[in-house]
Amino acid sequence: MTTPTAPPTTAPIQTTQQGPAIEVTGPLRDRYDEILTPEAIAFLTELHHRFASRRHDRLADRMRRRFEIGNGHDPRFREDTAHIREDAEWQVAGAGPGLEDRRVEITGPTDPKMTINALNSGARVWLADQEDATSPTWKNVIEGQLSLRDAIRGELSFTSPEGKEYRVTAERTPTIVMRPRGWHLPEKHISFVDRAGRRTSASGSLVDFGLYFLHNAQSLIDNGRGPYFYIAKIESSEEAKLWDDVFSFSEEYIGIPHGTIRATVLIETLPAAFEMDEILFELRDHCAGLNAGRWDYIFSIIKNYRGRGARFVLPDRSEVTMTVPFMRAYTELLVQTCHKRGAFAIGGMSASIPNRRDPEATARAIEKVAADKNREAGDGFDGTWVAHPDLIPTALAEFDAVLGDRPNQVDRQRDDVHVEARDLLDLHIGRPITAQGVRDNVSVAIRYLEAWLRGLGAVAIDNLMEDAATAEISRSQVWQWIHQDRSTQEGTPITAEYVEGLITQVLAQATRSAGDRFEDAAEIFREVALQEEFPTFLTLGAYSRFLVDEA
């Protein structure tokens, strides 16, 4: 597949099928009709007809829960679901074909070049990311689907603007696990009529899932694997139940056996950490495991406790490591919960990445990644994430040393782990906020947002891989430090005026080029970090107001 060059059209696609009428208003470029087929539109219509209202109910639940936490009601293990946690008998479906060994998974966006690189990487699994590593331009959403479709059929190729050709050459390619957008994200280029009779944006989750599943499920099965998904931003077992119902309906819709779909749920929100058993239970017929989504988890803690006082203020982002008490409690509970239920526990992604132009920086990155993966393997995780192909040998060596010839260590039960609610909420780290830490947050957030507005969702900044989750930490820390009247270690009060000065510095020092989006990025940062209100996700307002597709 080559990059489409034909001029777009804007003819709407509609369905007359019963239920909310789906309308596609995004530009229809070359080959988009291979994804936006009448069959696909009909399937999206059915998904929204059956599940869109429940999605809104679950999002309303999130708002209520955040309000309760903000008003002093800490999350806890639910009393009404204690019977699920106490029943030792039930198990999840576990690994599907091609998911038995997940010791190293590579993550990344789904453009043709990155798809080919991932499939040639030597990883066991590729997380094909339509969420935090993808800027949701219409081009990225649909052409990402085209990349996946072609790759699954062995038809993908790509020629760069410089004339370099890319093809899949690996004899054994990773098993694809696709990550659709979270429940909170809309798709503004596709609309439907909601339960109140209003035309509104479609669900990004249902669009991403529906298009990928309908076009590829049977081909994946024929290839000896299956339709597998990473589920992002879950906050409750009720949200997991909604996904399970989507899966069951979709399997029936195309006539494949119940339980063919396998899902790995990212535990990347604080409320979800208190419902791991329940989430596995609701998805048990379709569940392969849980993943420790570390960066979004940190963001979720800041978001939920941003107004609760100094006890809940975290220091510099670089000091919030996987070895601090609340992160240790969260990850150890995840491994124990997964293995008790026959589920895989997948570790998170180290932010450090190699720099081929800087051997010393590369050596430091490899050392940090090796230590991180050594800890995960030793804790009982069955696999882990990397964001760069050069880190696969490092991660693989650490897991090989623990696993040996075994494909996983699900049999390691971790009966030694005893985590209580207070352990998950022990946010004391005892480190300061520094002037450099504040500046780094401002710089990273603005530079990432600028790239995101140009269509890049995963960006290397200062030898770290940044995506939407790490940008969320950066801006939410700034917001919290301002509103909790924090000062830097050097004695400078962290105020909106102080941060404005840092914004000016970042813009002055940025490497500018024609068509850059730094001014827009700074404006978004001001809205999500300096205003009185705290937007729940920085991408929501940026998506609706600033993310513009090129014609």
Catalytic residues, which ones?
179, 467
The CA distance from 532 to 543, in Å, is: 20
At position 8, the amino acid (one-letter code) is P
**Cα angle vertex 165, ends 160, 166, to 5°?**
100
- Check: CB of residue 281 under 8 Å from CB of residue 90: yes
The CA distance from 243 to 245, in Å, is: 5
DSSP 48-95: HHHHHHHHHHHHHHHHHHHHHHHTT------STTHHHHH--S------
Of 16, 65, 72, nearest to 45 by C-alpha is: 16
DSSP 345-375: EEEEE-SB---TT-HHHHHHHHHHHHHHHHH
Write down how long the chain is. 551
For tokens 């430091």, name the residue: 364
Segments of 378-483 assigned E as strands: 383-386, 459-461, 464-466
The CA distance from 159 to 2, in Å, is: 6
User: Is residue 144 within a helix (H) or strand (E), and if so which, with residue range?
Assistant: helix 138-152
> Helix, strand, coil shares of the chain as percentages rounded to 5?
45, 15, 40
> How big is the chain by its Cα radius of gyration, in Å?
22
The CA distance from 406 to 426, in Å, is: 35
CA distances from 121 to 187, 250, 335, 387, 390 (A): 31, 31, 27, 11, 9
- Neighbour-count burial of 232, counting CB atoms closer than 10 A to its CB (0-12 exposed, 13-18 middle, 19+ buried): buried
Of 300, 246, 247, nearest to 273 by C-alpha is: 300
DSSP 202-243: EEHHHHHHHHHHHHHHHHHHHTT---EEEE-S--SHHHHHHH
Measured from the Cβ of residue 526, the count of other Cβ atoms closer than 10 Å reads 16
For tokens 């004391």, name the residue: 428
